[in-house]
Structure 1
Amino acid sequence: MRYLVETFAVGALRRGQGIEQFLGPVQGAGTPAIRWVGIESTKRGYEVTLHVVEDVGSENFYDLLEFPPLDPYDQFGQTLAVTDDAAGAMTEAERRTGAVRHRWVNAGLAGDEYVDFLRAGRPAT
């Protein structure tokens, strides 16, 4: 099972493990790009970060953290929100990025979603 049910996603965050979600292509970018959102527990709270990177991957190269950022000044993503509540962080991520509640995965697995995107022919939506 790839996707985390809400209680497992919240539990992972409370244990200090991150979760993430592949969001797909960036529309209107001059360079082919994709985005994904991550949530991690930090000293400040549960931090929601949006990553926008160049779509340079393949089925053999899909570690999204290795892709160059679309904006070279945005090396570590854009922090969208910091909350005190894990479920609240998920809600903020979904509200601000269009993420879907039932498609969260453990940190490091959004690349698997990217591979599915590649196999589907890099659809625009």
Structure 2
Amino acid sequence: MRFLEESFVLGALGRGRSVEQFLGPAGDAETRGVRWVEVVPAHSGFRVVLHTSADVGSEQFCDLVEFPPLDLENEDEEFGREIAKVEAAVDAVAIASARTGAVRDRWVNSGVAQDDYRDFVRAGRPDHWPSGAP
């Protein structure tokens, strides 16, 4: 099973492991992009980091961290932008949900969001992700 139950999300974070979630499309018809969010253990708490990159992948090339920023002129604002830093893992997950639209039951271990991206590509890059979500 790809997706982690909440107790496993919090357990991974408690062990110093990051979790992430593919959020779906970003940008517009001219500049196609994708977004994903990470919760990253830090020295004194947890960072919530939002990434927005150009959608340059395919089924064979889906390593999200290799994608260039959506807007090269504003790279620091879009790729790896820290949106919060908090002390408790549960608060970081809640903030990620509130500020990015992350869904409680779609968190994965670090490096696995690319599998969701591959599914997104196979689904024809729908306007909403997961497919059928408002």
TM-score tier after normalising by the smaller chain length: over 0.9
Deviation at 1:44, TM superposition (A): 3.9
Deviation at 1:71, TM superposition (A): 2.7
Structure 1 position 123 matched with structure 2 position 120? no
| Coordinate RMSD, CA, aligned | 1.3
Choose from 103, 109, 112 the match for 1:100. Answer: 103
Structure 1 position 80 matched with structure 2 position 83? yes
SS of 2:37's partner is: strand
SS of 2:70's partner is: coil
* TM-score normalised per structure 2: 0.89
Q: Distance in 2 between matches of 1:34 and 1:78?
A: 14
The runs of 5 or more residues in structure 2 that have no matched partner are 129-134
Question: Contact (CA 8 Å) 1:27, 1:124: kept in 2 or not?
Answer: no
Change (3 A) 1:29 1:90: farther
State the identity as a percent: 54
Provide the residue aligned with 2:4 in structure 1: 4
Provide the residue aligned with 2:50 in structure 1: 50
Whichever residue aligns with residue 55 of structure 1, its letter is D
Choose from 70, 89, 92 the match for 1:89. Answer: 92
Choose from 111, 114, 126 the match for 1:111. Answer: 114
Deviates more, 1:44-53 or 1:71-80: 71-80
Structure 1 position 68 matched with structure 2 position 68? yes
SS of 1:117's partner is: helix
* TM-score normalised per structure 1: 0.95
The runs of 5 or more residues in structure 1 that have no matched partner are none
Q: Distance in 2 between matches of 1:29 and 1:45?
A: 38
Question: Contact (CA 8 Å) 2:52, 2:79: kept in 1 or not?
Answer: no
Q: Distance in 2 between matches of 1:13 and 1:63?
A: 22
Aligned length: 125
Deviation at 1:76, TM superposition (A): 4.4
Structure 1 position 32 matched with structure 2 position 32? yes
